[in-house]
């Protein structure tokens, strides 16, 4: 029987402390929300069950903040807080106050977008769309990228004012937009958003700097980070991880160091992108705790907390 001597010990994340190292992974579900993006009573009860169960931290599922460039997808239940700000805030305060009653902290997860993973969204470069590879994505202009960053910062500020303890940025994982900016296979830009690794992380840097400027430097900001893509190319998965054409763990360690330098307070990790979906949401044939050897390497490269799920967490 494996033992976890640190599991129930408190942990510092930026300016806050969580009571133990048990964290709920973000799960996007439109069932939490009413027609204006507000949390319903049922949705709040669903989240509270996790707080009652003893978790130290809950990270909510992704909502894209952008109201301008890629219009909010109301059908997906992806309604940004800015759509009906007062209705959203009233429900969010009811949620965060009740979560806090159980000594649990809660992070809001805000996304930049999905790029080539959705048919109607723009991407860093002209990329084959995931569901329609014969078509190429439209390319985001510099102004559109800046606009998307602005909406993330604004949404983080709203989350703080509604009592959330921190935010997590969605996502440099699963091949979503920030992942597309980071990986050379999907970023051929020649402006400040492309080029060497540090330039490919410009969005990530401007996001955290902007949030810290309006929410304070102690307000925790986490990055949802994929540690290995497991692809040989677009729509070419690599089950054994060889011939990696996306991001490998060595590059992830460099990314982690830069994210820490930029001001990120936590890395919430998993692996895989849509093109290798069996690593994103692993079926039974993928060994339990399959990410641990990667997260151990990443943790050795950074000084901030790294979250990854172990075999035991999966069984809980
Ligand atoms: C239906 C579903 C929805 C998910 N929604 C989100 C999300 O909104 N944000 C996010 O960062 N991860 C999301 N995930 C990823 C999970 O948090 C988790 O990383 C994934 O299930 C793989 O588990 P692992 O991290 O133990 O490998 C989702 C997964 C599933 C199956």
Which domains can be identified in the chain, with CATH numbers?
Answer: 11-315 (3.20.20.70)
Residue 309: is its pLDDT beyond 90? no
d(C-alpha 166, C-alpha 222), whole Å:
8
Cβ atoms within 10 Å of 108's Cβ, excluding its own: 26
Handedness of CA 307, 310, 315, 316 (dihedral sign): negative
Whole-number Cα distances in Å, 276 to 59, 74, 93, 222, 268:
24, 27, 38, 24, 19
pLDDT tens digit sequence for 102-135: 999 999 999 999 999 998 899 999 999 999 999 9
Structure confidence at residue 147 (pLDDT): 96
Structure confidence at residue 77 (pLDDT): 64
- Ligand 1 atom 19, closest CA: 270
Q: Which is catalytic among the residues 33, 108, 176, 274?
A: 176
**Whole-number percent of the chain with pLDDT over 90:** 85
pLDDT band at residue 195 under the 50/70/90 scheme: very high
Question: How many angstroms separate the alpha carbon of residue 270 from the centre of ligand 1?
Answer: 8
Q: What does pLDDT average to over the chain? A: 94
Question: How many angstroms separate the alpha carbon of residue 26 from the centre of ligand 1?
Answer: 6
176 as an active site residue: the answer is: yes
* Test site for ligand 1: of 46, 58, 281, most ligand atoms within 8 A of the Cβ: 281
* Test site for ligand 1: of 22, 23, 26, most ligand atoms within 8 A of the Cβ: 26
Question: How many angstroms separate the alpha carbon of residue 62 from the centre of ligand 1?
Answer: 10
């Amino acid at each position: 029987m494996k033992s976890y001597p640190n599991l129930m010990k408190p942990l510092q994340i930026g300016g806050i402390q969580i009571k133990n190292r048990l964290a709920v992974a973000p799960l996007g579900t439109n069932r939490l929300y009413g027609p204006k993006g507000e949390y319903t009573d049922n949705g709040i009860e669903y989240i509270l069950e996790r707080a009652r169960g003893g978790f130290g931290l809950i990270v909510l599922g992704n909502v894209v903040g952008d109201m301008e460039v890629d219009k909010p997808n109301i059908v997906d239940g992806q309604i940004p807080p800015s759509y009906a700000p007062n209705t959203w805030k009233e429900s969010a305060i009811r949620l965060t106050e009740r979560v806090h009653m159980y000594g649990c902290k809660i992070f809001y997860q805000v996304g930049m977008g999905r790029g080539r993973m959705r048919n109607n969204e723009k991407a860093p470069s002209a990329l084959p769309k995931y569901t329609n590879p014969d078509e190429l994505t439209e390319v985001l202009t510099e102004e559109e990228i800046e606009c998307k960053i602005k909406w993330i910062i604004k949404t983080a500020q709203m989350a703080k004012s509604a009592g959330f303890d921190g935010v997590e940025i969605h996502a440099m994982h699963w091949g979503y937009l920030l992942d597309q900016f980071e990986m050379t296979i999907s970023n051929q830009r020649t402006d400040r958003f492309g080029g060497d690794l540090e330039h490919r992380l410009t969005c990530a840097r401007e996001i955290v700097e902007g949030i810290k400027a309006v929410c304070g430097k102690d307000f925790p900001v986490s990055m949802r980070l994929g540690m290995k893509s497991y692809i040989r190319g677009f729509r070419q998965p690599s089950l054994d991880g060889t011939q990696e054409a996306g991001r490998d763990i060595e590059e992830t360690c460099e990314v982690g160091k830069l994210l820490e330098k930029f001001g990120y307070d936590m890395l919430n990790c998993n692996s895989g992108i849509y093109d290798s979906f069996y690593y994103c949401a692993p079926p039974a044939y993928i060994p339990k705790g399959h990410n641990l050897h990667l997260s151990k390497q990443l943790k050795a490269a950074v000084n901030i907390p790294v979250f990854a799920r172990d075999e035991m967490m999966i069984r809980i």
